[in-house]
Amino acid sequence: MNPIKLSELLKRRPGDFLALIDGDPRYCGAVLSNILMSREEGAIFQMAREHVWFMSRFGDVGSASDGDKVYSESPEYFGRWLEIGCPGVDIESFDKYLKMKPL
């Protein structure tokens, strides 16, 4: 999967990206083809997921508050996750999604 396409998908459709990263059954198969391999990959995946969640909830605003909680985006973790091959998600699901809903 092209990291530029994934970045563009996050920018344009963060809610859909979150659904995909969480394994939405409309697009994801029963078998993951890209499972987590190490603790480091797991930590990077979790922080990348938090970044995607932030973007889907607040948009590209840097930081935001919700009541007494303050949240911030983590683009460096998202970028690192892309660099190491997006462990923890089924890349084929992103391909399937993009065929169904091109950018």
> Domain segments of the chain: what residues?
3-100
The string of pLDDT tens digits covering residues 27-76 is 776 655 567 678 999 899 999 999 999 999 999 899 998 889 999 999 99
Distance in angstroms (rounded) separating the CA atoms of residues 53 and 45: 12
Q: 38-50 pLDDT, tens per residue? A: 899 989 999 999 9
Q: Amino acid identity, residue 54?
A: F
Angle among Cα 4, 7, 29 to the nearest 5 degrees reads 95
**What global pTM score does this model have?**
0.85
The pLDDT > 90 percentage for the chain reads: 51
